[in-house]
Structure formats: C-alpha cells, structure tokens
C-alpha cells in the first residue's frame, strides 16, 4: 500500500512538472515571437540614405547633394529685398522706409505698437509702460535726441534681433508690420517734438482739445 501511494505521488509530481514545463515553453515561444515581430519593424530612419556630402554611386557626377532644378521658384518669398527684410542697405542701417508710408500704414503700426510695444515702452513711447509699475526697469524713451536720430533700419534691427532684456519679435511680427511700427514710432516722435510752425493753421485750434492717450 505504501509503495502504491509513492508511485501515485511520483506520477502526480511528474505530470505537474510537465505542465509547468509546458507553460514555460509556451511563454518562451511567445517572447521569441514578440521579439521577432518587433525586430522586423522598418522605420523611415532605417532606410538607405546618404550622409551629408557622401559620394553617390547612382548619379553620374557622384554627388549625393543635387543642384536646384533650372527655372524653379521658391514656395516661400525669396526675400531678395534686403531693405525690406533686413533693414539694411549696403550693410548699413537703412535711413529710409522700403515702401511709402500711408495713413493705413500708420494705423496698422499703431495697432501693432499698442499690442507688442506699449506694455514696456508706453502708449506714447516714453518708456513708462505698465511693466514699470511692477518693478521692471524702464526702457529708453523714444523721444531723446539720440533715439530720434536713429535710422529706421536701426529700429528694424532691434525688433528683429532684440537687445539686452528685450527679446526678438521676428517670429511674432512680420517684416511689413515691423516697418509699420517704426513709422508709428516716427509719428510719436514728431508728435512730442514738432515745431508749431510745421502745424497747418487750421489744425492749431485742435491742439487745445487734448485727450489722455493712456486712458
């Protein structure tokens, strides 16, 4: 009887071991299959490609970098007008505007100025924007003699590149709007430093009808 119990117990242990081994084998095969599936993935980064300036065996001139197709045009603006897009003429700050300044340009410049510039420079360009009330350093006034003497291209460069604590606005203000802002700055400078003799006679009475521009 004892021998029979031992034999049955051995058989049960063998069956249990085989079941566990079978489960282990199944899991092992599953892991192997998953590994094969994931390793066979083909991404675009794995496709054949040329490194920069690598020699090509396909093209006759052996150059992997191909020249532009003749008579094609750029999808984006070519920006060949250096005056408009860089604010410079022959490497110097442009003393003029790249287009005629009209009333519409000034109105556009005022709108852009009020949005982007007035928080720091103030609505009249005196450097007393709202940020000064919160403890930030006041920027230079546009009405000092030095700032009035700066060329329009100088202002374009500052708006484009930024300076000191002022960031670049190139990504937020298109070139045309930058020039419109500069035109409005010129109007502000003239408004604070104009000679009475330059004011048309019919407009002189209106000078007494002032309005708080900062309201």
Q: Write the pLDDT tens digit of every residue in 107-161.
A: 999 999 999 999 999 999 999 999 999 988 899 999 999 999 999 999 999 999 9
Model confidence, pTM = 0.62
How many C-beta atoms surround the C-beta of residue 98 within 10 A? 18
Instruction: Please check the confidence at residue 43 and state whether its pLDDT lies above 60.
Output: yes
Distances 27 to 13, 17, 125 between C-alpha atoms, Å: 21, 15, 74
Mean pLDDT, rounded, for 159-188: 94
Which stretches of the chain are DSSP H helices? 2-39, 82-86, 103-112, 118-121, 130-133, 145-149, 152-161, 175-193
Q: pLDDT tens for residues 45-81?
A: 667 778 888 888 888 888 888 888 888 877 777 788 8
Distances 142 to 88, 99, 148, 149, 176 between C-alpha atoms, Å: 21, 22, 7, 10, 21
């Amino acid at each position: 009887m004892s021998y029979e119990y031992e034999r049955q117990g051995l058989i049960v242990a063998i069956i249990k071991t085989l079941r566990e081994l079978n489960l282990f084998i199944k899991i092992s095969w599953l892991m192997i299959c998953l590994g094969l599936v994931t390793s066979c993935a083909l991404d675009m980064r794995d496709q054949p490609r040329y490194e920069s300036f690598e020699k090509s065996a396909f093209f006759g001139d052996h150059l992997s970098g191909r020249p532009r197709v003749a008579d094609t045009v750029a999808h984006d603006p070519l920006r060949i007008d250096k005056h408009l897009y860089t604010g410079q003429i022959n490497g110097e700050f442009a003393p003029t505007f790249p287009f005629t300044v009209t009333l519409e340009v000034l109105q556009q410049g005022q709108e852009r100025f009020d949005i982007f510039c007035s928080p720091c420079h103030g609505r009249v360009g005196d450097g007393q924007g709202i940020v000064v009330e919160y403890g930030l350093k006041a920027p230079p006034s546009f009405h000092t003699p030095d700032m009035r003497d700066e060329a329009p291209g100088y202002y374009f460069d500052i708006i484009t590149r930024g300076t000191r604590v002022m960031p670049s606005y190139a990504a937020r203000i298109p070139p045309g709007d930058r020039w419109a802002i500069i035109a409005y700055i010129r109007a502000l400078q003239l408004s604070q430093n104009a000679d009475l003799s330059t004011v048309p006679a019919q407009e002189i009475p209106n000078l007494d009808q002032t309005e708080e521009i900062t309201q």
